[in-house]
Amino acid sequence: MNTPTSTGAPRRRTIDIVNAGLKKRRRAERRFRLYGMTAISMGLLFLLTLFGSIISKGYTAFWQHYMLIDVTLTPADIAPDGSRDPQVLAKANYMGLVKASLREMFPEVTGRRDKRRLYKLVSSGAASEVRKRVLEDPALIGKTVGFWVPTDDEVDLLLKGRVNTQLPESQRRVKDNVVAWVETLKQQGRIQKRFNTIFFTHGDSRNPEQAGILGAVSGSFLTLLVTLLLAFPIGVAAAVYLEEFAPRNWFTDLIEVNINNLAAVPSIVFGLLGLAVFLNFFHLPRSAPLVGGLVLTLMTLPTIIIASRAALKSVPPSIKEAALGVGASPMQAIYYHVLPLAMPGMLTGTIIGMAQALGESAPLLMIGMVAFIVDVPHGVFDPATVLPVQIYLWADSPERAFVERTSAAIIVLLAFLVTMNLLAVILRRRFERRW
Amino acid sequence: MNTLTFAGVLLVLSAIAYHLGRRRAYTVAGGELRKLHSLPSYYGLYTAIWCGLPALVLIGFWLAFENTLVTAMVVSDLPEALRSLPSERLNLVLNDLRNLAEGNIGPESVDPAIQAAAAHYNQLLQISHWAMAVVVLSVAMILGWYALTKVKPHQRARNAVEVVIKAFLILCASVAILTTLGIVLSVLFESLRFFTSVPPMEFLFGTVWSPQTALRADQVGSSGAFGAVPLFAGTMLISAIALLVAVPIGLLSAIYLSEYAHKKVRTIAKPLLEILAGIPTVVYGFFAALTVAPFVRDLGRSMGLEVSSESALAAGVVMGIMIIPFVSSLSDDVINAVPQSLRDGAYGLGATQAETIRKVIFPAALPGIVGGILLAASRAIGETMIVVMAAGLSANLTANPLEAVTTVTVQIVTLLTGDQEFDSPKTLAAFALGLALFAVTLVLNVIALHVVRKYREQYE
C-alpha cells in the first residue's frame, strides 16, 4: 500500500484518508448496532420483568389451604327448643361452635390473647360454611362433623412459604405459637391445599381469603356488553357514512378532525364528561355498568371508526361498481356487497377496541365504579365494579394476602386480553383477502 | 309501565307494521311485482319507520321533560314555608322527596308535608307514565295506518327509507362531534363556576396547592389554596422522566428493527414490544407501586440517598416503559417511509450503515419522529393509573426526581372519587384541572398530527 510519505507526494490521496478513518468508522458502526440491540433487549427485559414479577407474585393465589376441623353440632347451641325451622337454625352462633372445636384441638391454649390467635387460624367465613351444611341437612345436628374450611389469609401465606419465619417474632404478624400450631396440624394431616374456587365464585370481601373476582368479572362483562351494543353499530354506521357517502365539505372535515383528536384525548377526560353529563345532567345511577358502558363507548368509538374505515377502503371499488351496474342503489350496493366483505376487518377493529375498553379504569373511577361492592351485579343498573378497578382497589389494601390476589386478578385480566387479541389475529388471518 | 317493556311493545308494533306494509305492497301490485317502484320489503320498512320512529322520538322528549315538569308541579303545591326556602335548601328538600318517593329512605325521618308531597310526586309520575303510554301508542298506530294508506305502486318507498337510513348514518358520524362538544362544554362550564370563586391567575400561577377546605369558616386552614403550578411541575417532571426512558429505547429499537434486524428477529421482536402498549395501565401502576418503587428506594438507600417511597422516578420510569411502543412504532413507520433511493445514494458515496442512518435517514425522518414523540408526551401527561398508584398526593414544588410529586391526573382522581357535594370549589377544581389537561393534550395532538401529515406529503 502506498503511503503519502513513501511517494513523497505533497497531497494525501483520498483513499488513504478513507483507509485511515476506516477502523474508527467500523467501530462506530459496531457501537451503533450495539446501542440498537441494547435498546431492544431492554424493552424485552422490561416486558419479561413485568410478567415475571406479576406471575411469581400471583400464581400461588390460585390455591388456598383448607383445614379440617371437627365441629360438634350440639343441639343446645343450635336450636335449644329442638326446632328445625331454617330461620332458627340460621341464627345460631356457628362461630362459637367453630371456636369450641379449635379449643378442643389445642386444649393447652389458655390466656385471652393466645385464644384469639387460635381462633384466627380459620377464616371468618368458616362459620357460614358450617351454617350452610346444617341448613342443607338438619339431621347432622347432634353429631360431630368434619369440616374443611379455608384457613385465615395469614396462615395461608405461611403455608405457602411467603412468611419469613427467620425474622424476629415482633416483626411479623404470624407469631411463633401460630407457626407451631400449623406445624402440628400439618403433621395430623388436617391441612390440605386445594384449588381456590372462592377466588372465582365470590364477590369482593374485606377478608382476602373470601375475596373473589366474580363480581368484578360480571361487572366488566355487563359494561363491555353495553359498550359493544352501542359502539359497534354506531362505529360501523359512522365509518360507512364517512367512507362511502360523505361529501367533501367542512362538516365532514370537522368530523374527521374530531375523530382523530378524540383518539388521543386522555381517558380521564372522558370520565369527567361521564360525570358531568351522564351522572349530573341525566341523573343516571352512580357505579352502574350502564354509565361505564356509555363512557367506554365514547372512548372506543374512534378506534372502531378508524379500523372500520380501513376495512371499507380495502374492498375494491369494482365490487360496488358491479352492484351499481346491475341496478342496485348505492345503499343496497354497500349493504349487500361492500359491508359483508369489510365485516372481518370491522370485527377485528371492534375486538381490539373492546380489549382497550376492558383494560380501562381511569374514567370509571370518575363515575363511581370504585365503591366497595360485595354483591355480584345482575343488571346494567346494579352498582358494580370492573376487573381493572378491582385490581386498583386490592392493590391499595394493606393485607399482604391481597398482593397475591391482585396479581392473580391481573393474570386473569391479561388472560382475557390475550384471548381477545388472539381472536382478532385469527379472524384477520382467516378472512383476510388480498384483492 | 316500565320504559323497557314499553319499548318492547313499540318494537312489536313496528314489526306488525312491517308485515302489514309488505302485504299491502303485494296486494296493490296485484300479483305483478314489477309494477312496484321498490321491493315489497321497502314498503314494509317504510310503514314500520312511520310507526316506530316518531313514537320513539316522542318517548325521548317525554322522558327528558317529565321529571322537570312533575317537579315543578310538586313544588308549586308545597306549603308556603317550604317553597320560600333559598334554592340550595329547596334542592335538599327535593332530594329528600325523590329519595322518599323511590323508597330509598324510610318515611320516619321526613316531615309530613314532604311525605304528602312525595305521595303526590309518585301519583303525578304514575299519571304521566300512563299518559305517555296512551299518547305514544296512539301516535304509533295512527302514523302506521297513515303510511299503510300511502302504499301505492308508484310510491318511492326505497328512496324514503334510504333517506332515513342516511340520516341515521350522519347522526352516528356526528357522535364524534357531540362527544368533543360534550367534553368542552361540561369541562368549560364547571371550570367557569370554579373561576368565579378562584381567580384564573391564582389557579395558573399560584404555587400552593391544598384543596382541603374546612367545613366551617373559623377552622384552621379553612380557605383551600388552588395554585396549580406544583401539579403542572410534577406532571412535567414525571413525563420528562418517562420520555427520557422511552425516547432513546423506542427510537433505537425502531432503527435497529427497521434497518439492521434480520427479518425473523423483526417478526418476533416487534409484536413483543407492542405487547407493552396493550397491557392495561392499572397493571403498570401495580408494577410501579409494588416492584419498581421499593427497588428504587432500596437502591437509593444503598447509595446513601434519601428516596421517597413514592418517588417521581419510579412512576416516570414505568410510564416510560409504557410509552416505548408508541415511540417505536411511530418512528418505525416514518423510517420505513424514507425512500430507498436516499439510502442507496448514501451507500453509493461510501457511507457505512450507521452513518447513513445518522446523517441521512434520521434527518429525513426527524419531523415524523418529533410528531411521534409529541404524541407520546401527550399520552404521558394524560396517563392516570400509574401515577395514581405510584406517585404521591402531596403537592411538592421540586425538580428532584427522588422526591414524591403529584400530577394533574392524580389530583383529579382524588378530588372526584368518593362522595362530595358537587358545588364546592374542591370538586370544581378537578374540572379546571381537566380543562387544562384537555387543552394541553389537544394542542400537542394537533401539532403532532400536523407535523406527521406534512412530512408524509413530502415523499408520496
ipTM above 0.95, yes or no: no
A275 shares a domain with A290? yes
Residue of B nearest to A19 (CA): B350
Q: Which whole-number Å values give the CA distances from A52 to A44, A411, A421, B62, B314, in the listed order?
A: 12, 11, 21, 56, 18
Torsion angles phi and psi, residue A288, rounded to 5: -90, 140
CB B275 within 8 A of CB A380: no
Whether residue A112 sits in one domain with residue A225: no
In chain B, which among 279-298 make CB contacts under 8 A with chain A? 279-287, 289-291
CA A1 to chain CA centroid, nearest Å: 68
> Residue B275, class by beta-carbon neighbours within 10 Å (0-12 exposed, 13-18 middle, 19+ buried)?
middle
**Which among B346, B339, B334, B353 has a CA at the least distance from the CA of B452?**
B334
Restricting to A residues 311-330, those with a Cβ less than 8 Å away from any Cβ of B are: 329
Whether B354 has its CB under 8 Å from any CB of chain A: the answer is yes
Of A221, A268, A270, A266, give the one whose Cα is nearest residue A385. A221
Cell of A234: 354506531
Categorize the per-residue pLDDT at A1 as very low, low, confident or very high, splitting at 50, 70 and 90: very low
Residue B460 confidence (pLDDT): 54
Domain edge (last residue) among A168, A195, A222:
A195
Residues in a beta bridge with B226: B209
- Are B176 and A388 a contacting pair at CB < 8 A? no
The helix (run of H) or strand (run of E) holding residue B290 is none
Which pLDDT band, with edges at 50, 70 and 90, does A100 fall under? confident
A233–B413 C-beta distance less than 8 A:
no
Q: In the block, which residue shows the cell 440498537? A: A36
Shared domain check, A269 and A185: no
Provide the greatest CA pair distance for chain B. Answer: 96
**pLDDT under 70: residue ranges of chain B:** 1-2, 88, 103-110, 212-223, 418-423, 455-460
The answer to whether residue A2 sits within a structural domain is: no
Percent of chain A with pLDDT over 90: 40
Q: What angle do CA A303, A309, A313 make, to 5 degrees?
A: 150
| Number of domains chain A is built from | 3
Task: Single out the residue in A161, A195, A229 at which a domain terminates.
Answer: A195
The DSSP bridge partners found for residue A148 are A68
Whether the CB-CB separation of B390 and B310 falls below 8 Å is answered with yes
d(CA A79, CA A84): 7
DSSP A316-350: -HHHHHHHHHTT--HHHHIIIIIHHHHHHHHHHHH
Q: Specify whether A226 is located in the same domain as A355.
A: yes
The reported pLDDT for the residue numbered A125 is 82
A190-204 average pLDDT score:
89
Q: How confident is the model at residue A227 (pLDDT cuts 50, 70, 90)?
A: very high
A205 falls within a domain: no
Most confident listed range (A98-107, A109-118, B370-379): B370-379
Which candidate, B107, B134, B117, B127, places its Cα nearest to that of B71? B117
C-alpha cell at A430: 382467516
- Here the cell at position A23 is 477502523
- For chain A positions 330-359, those within 8 Å of chain B (CB to CB) are 331, 355, 358-359
On whether residue A39 sits in a domain, the answer given is yes
Residue written as cell 403532532? B448
Say if A386 falls within a structural domain.
yes
Buried b (16+ CB within 10 A) or exposed e, B77-92: ebeeebeeeeeeeeee
Domains with residue ranges and CATH for chain B:
3-170 (no CATH), 225-459 (1.10.3720.10)
Contact check, Cβ <8 Å, A272/B430: yes
A163 and A93 in one domain? yes
d(C-alpha A262, C-alpha A424), whole Å: 23
- Let me know the angle formed at the C-alpha of B102 by B100 and B103, rounded to the nearest 5 degrees: 65
Contact predicate A272/B187, CB 8 Å: yes
Q: Which residues contact A420 (CB under 8 A, 6 or more apart)?
A: A351, A352, A354, A355, A358
Task: Give A423: exposed, middle or buried? Use CB within 10 Å, 0-12, 13-18, 19+.
Answer: middle
Cβ atoms of B430 and B415 within 8 Å: the answer is yes
Check whether residue A171 and residue A273 sit in a common domain: no
B249 and chain A in contact, CB less than 8 A: yes
d(CA B355, CA A313): 39
The reply to whether A180 and A116 lie within a common domain is yes
Pair (A67, A54) in one structural domain: no
Contacts of A380 in chain B (CB under 8 A): none
Cα dihedral: B135, B139, B145, B150 (round 10): 160
Residues 6 or more apart whose Cβ sits within 8 Å of residue A306: A259, A263, A349
Q: Which of A176, A203, A179, A204 has its CA nearest to residue A191?
A: A179
Phi and psi for A138 in degrees, rounded to 5? -60, -15
Q: Is A266 an 8 Å CB contact of chain B?
A: yes
Instruction: Give the model confidence (pLDDT) of A256-277 as tens digits.
Output: 888 888 888 999 999 999 988 8
Give Cβ neighbours of residue B303 (< 8 Å, ≥ 6 apart).
none
Statement to judge: residues A229 and A188 lie in one domain: no
Residues A36 and A68 occupy one common structural domain: no
Residue A129 and residue A146: Cα distance in Å, rounded? 12
Mean pLDDT of all residues in A212-233: 94
- Within a domain: residue A204? no
| pLDDT band for position A364 (cuts 50, 70, 90) | very high
- CA end-to-end span of chain B: 61
Is there a single domain that holds both residue A363 and residue A420?
A: yes
How many Å separate Cα A327 from the centre of its chain?
51
Say if A127 falls within a structural domain.
Answer: yes
Is A32 an 8 Å CB contact of chain B? yes
> A-chain residues within 8 Å CB-CB of B190?
276
Tell me how far apart the alpha carbons of residues B406 and A344 are, in angstroms, rounded to a whole number.
44
Residues of A in contact with B358 (CB under 8 A): 32
Tell me: pLDDT of A234 over 90: yes
Does residue A246 share a domain with residue A125?
Answer: no
Q: Residue A316 sits in a domain of what CATH number?
A: 1.10.3720.10
Backbone dihedral region of A111: left (phi > 0), alpha (psi from -120 to 50 degrees) or beta? left
B158 at the A interface (CB within 8 A)?
yes
Q: Could you tell me the CA-to-CA distances from B437 to A89, A361, A372, B10, B195 in Å, in that order?
A: 58, 18, 29, 44, 16
A216-230, A368-382, B155-169, range with the lowest pLDDT: A368-382
Q: Is residue A253 part of a domain?
A: yes
Is residue A207 in a domain?
Answer: no
Please tell me which of the candidates B180, B275, B385 has its beta carbon nearest to residue A392: B385
- Domain range spanning residue A388? 214-431
